[in-house]
Structure 1
């Protein structure tokens, strides 16, 4: 990337540093941090207008134009390079000539192939759009992105802005002012990291090893996350909700407590540690609720 096309150079958040490490550590295995969002909709759609709206969203959010590299002159410190002008990669897949069953099979295959295709972390943007046309007025829009760019909270913000841009022909006058992701990075830089490390060291004092449920090296290479869904009977749900209310707890706290007890039973320990993601959006930062980026 030439310097004339470079808008700025920014540091990475700690989680971005971690995801970049995983992306570069083993470039032959699947990247489990490639995420997807698919939207189904019907109506009279101007596909080129939607494509232009995708470009407008990238123009609006500078951090979506980021690439990630090691900065050699600073002992390999990673940086994100914000390109001044990047178009959204766009692909149109017309399925109207296929029978319904074949149409579904092709769509599922293309979605899976797109998820398996790794991003080059040094080439922006680390996202791409695929629009499937299933019928004259029936579509599926697929966004495939690297998690290093944005989190789950950001996805609906991005989609809402995309269709707002589509409706306005690329004019963002009706959208709120962009709260740049770099403001969050500035806020992070002002934090006292040593105090944070000391707080966590105290909280984890006495913990000698992780709580592993499987032997080390049980799985070779990266393993893609899977989702398992189980329906809980209505009677049990009501009982759990009543138990949580009677103890002044949220349902999430109840579930996390149950998970902790299960870990203890499986590992034979009464002191266990596990983690869960939180939004990571500091409420004292203006506009944080509408920022697009990685905060978890």
Structure 2
């Protein structure tokens, strides 16, 4: 079945990631298992769950020659199951194992979006044992894995025996449901609700972090992670304050983040728009049984609000609650679809940050193990520690996830792409967010203007540094000539070794086809070419790769990777001269819709 729009976006993130970067969209859940753990019984239980849950046997099909599919497709294999790997006491370091499991890439063409590692923390059969689940968001989200765990515990207690056949609805039913949705209403809604182009999407740098960034140390790459905690008392006060004004803690987090973004607009105490994404569960849909469906339903939705410093901060709270309520009506729509409907260019980002708020542990808010199951495990001498999540790296510059710990504290975790938000700026943004969450409940009467909290930030961390334009996604695409009409397609000319910026100027003059003609600034590798092609792949436009003779190997590698991720591999045209290449392009070009 064709993959969902959200799945296509996750695959595009993987396809266009920078060379050598850590895998994106890989999340982990880990906890301690106290008491005896029978490895064979553990494995049999997961096999039983896999027999009932098609998503654990799902994978993406590589594009087959002659296939009519224009993009990735999901297939469910008849047999597959996670194969837990148990590491005896002393054979592995806990932190190294956790990181190693996260950095080990998934082969999404093979069934099994979930892998399991066990680490004995002491010798002997009674544990404790660390359990690590590592899973990919292309087929599973965090809620799904907790649902699967409930089924696993029941299967473990039953020694690997389960009742009934495959789950329905399953991941295929969800894809079928999505394919049948009419997008007229969501298009109309998002035409009104899409963030304005001038929205501020990233927090500002403080004077201190800006000075540190100007130091002599080379810029770090990869992802950073920072954490801060509100005490149980502070969390209770925040929750009570939000509830008193008809909002949830997640909305209070959004209000704090919106205030922080406003500082980056440079507008002082004047109203200004800000925008960020929020994680939507995707389970408030009309598909029967969606709340208990293990599938990749969760995804980001863009929100925007106009922050008016002169208005009460509770007005900001109400505006955000209203925006979230409106967006929840169409939580099955993907962020990429909304971007496409907005008509923005491929390098223009609707949002650059993501907020996620995990519900409290345990039913009815969170699918933890039922009390009866925990009691049966306890009779066998088994106790379960509270699962802890390790957030996935995303393609966004920064994301913040909030959850309550076992003591009732509110933990905020920031994950940042260091190439766009350095560690110091991410840590400062997290600290300022926590400061606001601690201070917002001081607004006991609901009339304190938002500017008082902006002043509080200025007093605590100093002035914000001058800000640049709204965030953009650098595609690296160099347009040589626009398309003659929408949907005509794109020809990407691959730079050969030693190419200069004007290597393909003569080709642009000689080529008479209707396609957009573009190249990539040299020197370029496959990852750079794929990033440049992302907008065209997302739009499903006809593609053609071309170049002088020396670019052939790179062009074929780019085409191979596109096909390996499920898209139709574009044809490749190679010639020795500009005139010859123009003729070859005209012959090889796929036919898009006529103008």
If the TM-score is normalised by the length of the shorter chain, which range does it land in? 0.7 to 0.9
In terms of mean alpha carbon deviation, does 286-295 or 197-206 score higher?
197-206
| 1:210, distance to aligned residue in structure 2 (A) | 6.1
Measure the CA separation in 2 of the matches of 1:158 and 1:232: 31
Look up the match of 1:5.
none
Look up the match of 2:147.
157
Measure the CA separation in 1 of the matches of 2:204 and 2:80: 43
What is the DSSP-based 3-state SS (H/G/I as helix, E as strand, rest coil) of the residue aligned with 1:272?
Answer: strand
Question: Greater Rg, structure 1 or structure 2?
Answer: 2
What is the DSSP-based 3-state SS (H/G/I as helix, E as strand, rest coil) of the residue aligned with 2:72?
Answer: strand
Measure the CA separation in 2 of the matches of 1:205 and 1:156: 33
Question: Hey, which bits of structure 1, 4+ residues long, moved more than 6 A?
Answer: 218-222
Look up the match of 1:7.
none
1:271 matched to 2:263: no
Q: Indicate conservation of the 8 Å contact 1:58/1:87, yes or no.
A: yes
| 1:111, distance to aligned residue in structure 2 (A) | 1.6
Query: Which residue of 52, 77, 94 corresponds with 2:88?
Result: 94
Q: Which runs of 5+ in 2 are unaligned?
A: 206-212, 299-595
What is the DSSP-based 3-state SS (H/G/I as helix, E as strand, rest coil) of the residue aligned with 2:264?
Answer: helix
Measure the CA separation in 2 of the matches of 1:65 and 1:276: 29
Measure the CA separation in 2 of the matches of 1:175 and 1:239: 47
Measure the CA separation in 1 of the matches of 2:297 and 2:119: 30
Look up the match of 1:230.
229
Look up the match of 2:160.
170
After the TM superposition, which residues 92-171 of structure 1 pair with which residues of structure 2 at under 5 Å, given as runs? 92-95=86-89, 98=90, 106-134=93-121, 135=123, 136-138=125-127, 139-171=129-161
| 1:178, distance to aligned residue in structure 2 (A) | 4.3
Look up the match of 1:3.
none
What is the DSSP-based 3-state SS (H/G/I as helix, E as strand, rest coil) of the residue aligned with 2:260?
Answer: helix
Q: Indicate conservation of the 8 Å contact 2:52/2:167, yes or no.
A: no
Look up the match of 2:186.
196
CA RMSD, aligned part only?
Answer: 2.9
Look up the match of 1:24.
15
| 1:223, distance to aligned residue in structure 2 (A) | 3.8
What is the DSSP-based 3-state SS (H/G/I as helix, E as strand, rest coil) of the residue aligned with 2:12?
Answer: helix
Using structure 2 for the length normalisation, give the TM-score: 0.43
What do the CA deviations read for 1:120-159 (whole angstroms, capped 9, x no partner)?
1212222211122233211122111111121111122111
Q: Indicate conservation of the 8 Å contact 1:37/1:142, yes or no.
A: yes
In terms of mean alpha carbon deviation, does 82-91 or 199-208 score higher?
199-208
Report which structure shows greater RCO (CA 8 Å, sep ≥6).
1
What is the DSSP-based 3-state SS (H/G/I as helix, E as strand, rest coil) of the residue aligned with 1:164?
Answer: helix
In terms of mean alpha carbon deviation, does 193-202 or 156-165 score higher?
193-202
Q: Indicate conservation of the 8 Å contact 1:53/1:165, yes or no.
A: yes
What do the CA deviations read for 1:35-84 (whole angstroms, capped 9, x no partner)?
11112112222211111111222221112212213546346411012111
Q: Indicate conservation of the 8 Å contact 1:65/1:83, yes or no.
A: yes
Measure the CA separation in 1 of the matches of 2:99 and 2:195: 43
Q: Indicate conservation of the 8 Å contact 1:20/1:148, yes or no.
A: yes
Measure the CA separation in 2 of the matches of 1:194 and 1:210: 28
Cα 1:56/1:237, change in 2 over 3 Å: closer
Cα 1:194/1:221, change in 2 over 3 Å: farther
| 1:116, distance to aligned residue in structure 2 (A) | 0.7
Q: Indicate conservation of the 8 Å contact 1:13/1:188, yes or no.
A: yes
Q: Indicate conservation of the 8 Å contact 1:32/1:223, yes or no.
A: no
Look up the match of 1:292.
294
Query: Which residue of 252, 258, 261 corresponds with 1:260?
Result: 258
Look up the match of 2:500.
none
Measure the CA separation in 2 of the matches of 1:33 and 1:221: 21
Aligned residues: 277
What is the DSSP-based 3-state SS (H/G/I as helix, E as strand, rest coil) of the residue aligned with 2:229?
Answer: coil
Measure the CA separation in 2 of the matches of 1:116 and 1:201: 39
Q: Indicate conservation of the 8 Å contact 1:32/1:222, yes or no.
A: no
| 1:20, distance to aligned residue in structure 2 (A) | 1.1
Measure the CA separation in 1 of the matches of 2:246 and 2:28: 36
| 1:294, distance to aligned residue in structure 2 (A) | 0.9
Q: Indicate conservation of the 8 Å contact 1:29/1:221, yes or no.
A: no
Look up the match of 2:5.
14
